[in-house]
Amino acid sequence: MKIFTLSMLICILILPISILYAGDSLSVVDAWVLEAPPGMKVMAAYMTLKNNSDNVHELKGVSSPEFERVEMHRTIIENELASMVKQDSMTVNAGEVLKFEPGGSHLMLINPKKILKSGYEIDLTLILKNEKKLNTKAHVRKHSEMTGMEHHN
């Protein structure tokens, strides 16, 4: 009985450390959504994922209770034509960043459940390959708030 109790105590003490380490290894910076006119069925979300670990992280999907579904897309330019390609997964290499930004990789937020205006926060859940989830909030911004954003990173 003493061994069982000691084992449980060790597990309880180690669990917060392992959760803290997992959370610190991949972080979300500046998650935001571009405000859309009422009636729009699709919105876009952007953010930067920072991998502060020595491990590769694979993003398998994203969900949000404010939308019917969320898809990961990458913009590809071929023969001077831009097209969006749905991504089943995206990789964040060790010590690197993955940027979701206008004109590049982004999240497509499909069928909003309500009108989302500037100042609102949207809950996003990032689903990693190992089934771990990373929760974050994205701030809804007006198009006018984007001016000069590239200088504030």
Is 11 within the bounds of a domain?
Answer: no
Residue 113 placed within a domain? yes
Asked whether residue 134 is assigned to any structural domain, the reply reads: yes
DSSP secondary structure string for all residues of 48-68: EEEE-SSS-EEEEEEE-TTEE
List pLDDT tens digits, range 89-135.
Answer: 999 999 999 999 999 999 999 999 999 999 999 999 999 998 899 99
In a domain, 15, yes or no: no
Task: Kindly state whether residue 3 falls inside one of the protein's structural domains.
Answer: no
Predicted TM-score (pTM) of the model is: 0.76
4 in a structural domain: no
CA distance 78 to 88: 21
| 153 lies in some domain | no
What residues make up the domain containing 80?
Answer: 26-144
In a domain, 9, yes or no: no
- The domain tally of the chain equals 1
Q: What's residue 40's pLDDT?
A: 92
Domain of residue 36, CATH code: 2.60.40.1890
